[in-house]
Amino acid sequence: MSLSTSPRTSTKLFTKLRSQYQLLIMSVPFVVLLIIFSYIPLWGWLMAFQKYSPGKGIWKSPWVGFDNFVTLFHDERFFLVLRNTLVMSGLSLVTGFVGAILLALLLNEVRHSFFKRTIQTVTYIPHFVSMVVIANIVLTFLAPEGIINALLLKLGILNESVFIMGKGELFWFINTLVGLWKELGWSTIIYLAVLAGINPDLYEAADVDGAGRFQKMWNISIPSLMPTAIILLILSMGNIINIGYESQFLLGNPLNLDYSEVLDLYALNLSFGSGEYSVGVALGIFKSIVSLLIVITVNFIAKKSSGIRLF
């Protein structure tokens, strides 16, 4: 049946493949698609070691070794953008993390399930709304003639209206608040599930001992949340250099660019703005390596200190 040198095993494989041809039809095309769109771009990493030009392509562009990385690490703008990225993701990591746990604890204390469900439903909404819509809301509210300015004028905090989005120093703050507003509700889901799974006996025993609500929260609820919280923290640490660029792209403008530009946008700018494709790719590689290192480090520390690990 087969011309192979080990007829028995290859025949077995062949019959198995034949008997599973339907499963193959159901999976292979999609795996091929996944490989094309997720793995073939890795080939493009070679560009970081070339002086790539679109006209010559990856085959004919000259090789330059690590020159692009040297260029990148001598670029002042790169460090400015790196700072923006780290500060903004640090801020959103801390606020999002603390906020989600706090909100989950507060929701967990609500006894009227209708009220609880309503708040949950409402706070999940922004998660599903596009960043374009959110950016529109932000711009409308923070415009010189917008509602925030009107409020500050009325309260006498401001004497004349200002274009708040033009104040670069405020951008990190605004971006953090916007992110918090969008994702806070949604990020409580997993914590609420953990809280719902806590054995009620624990609370009853605490009641018998005369513990108040804060004591129960502190001694039962929060410790129960910790393992989940640490795993989520490890996961998000890997992305600390990898924050999205949507909100920065949409909320950014020439006046706040020194505070709003993040690594991905800078890579785009280098490539399509200045034609420095290779430096842009080098920046991408830098990002991947750093996030990998962070995940491994955090995982190691978490394992040493609490026995919780991801891999």
Find the binding residues for other proteins in span 24-83 (CB under 8 A): 24, 26-28, 30-31, 33-45, 47
Binding status of residue 174 toward other proteins by CB under 8 A: no
Range in contact with other proteins (rule: CB under 8 A) among 64-72, 82-90, 158-166, 299-307: 158-166
Judged by CB under 8 A, the number of residues near other proteins is 88
- Name the minimum Å distance from CB 189 to other proteins: 5
Which has the closest alpha carbon to 161: 174, 169, 151, 149? 149
Spacing of C-alpha 1 from chain mean position: 53
The CA distance from 259 to 262, in Å, is 8
Site for other proteins in 263-292 (CB under 8 A): 264, 267-268, 271, 277, 280-281, 284-285, 287-288, 292
Listed residue (294, 171, 280, 297) closest to 242, CA to CA: 294
Choosing from 152, 253, 308, 309, the residue that interacts with other proteins (CB under 8 A) is 253
196 is a contact residue toward other proteins (CB under 8 A): no
Candidate list 119, 152, 202, 294; residue touching other proteins; CB under 8 A:
119
At its nearest, how many Å lie between other proteins and the CB of residue 206?
A: 13
Contact flag: residue 168 with other proteins (CB under 8 A): no
Please, are residues 206 and 220 in contact by the beta-carbon 8 Å criterion? yes
**Site residues for other proteins, window 220-239 (CB under 8 A)?**
232, 235
DSSP structure string for 154-210 = HTTS-SS---GGG-HHHHHHHHHHHHHHHHHHHHTHHHHHHHHTS-HHHHHHHHHTT
Question: Closest separation between CB of residue 20 and other proteins, Å?
Answer: 6
CB of 163 to other proteins, least distance (A): 4
64 three-class SS? coil
> Cβ atoms within 10 A of the Cβ of 66, count?
12
Q: Provide the minimum distance between the beta carbon of 148 and other proteins in the complex, in angstroms, as a whole number.
A: 11
Contact 266, 283 (CB under 8 A): yes
CB of 83 to other proteins, least distance (A): 20
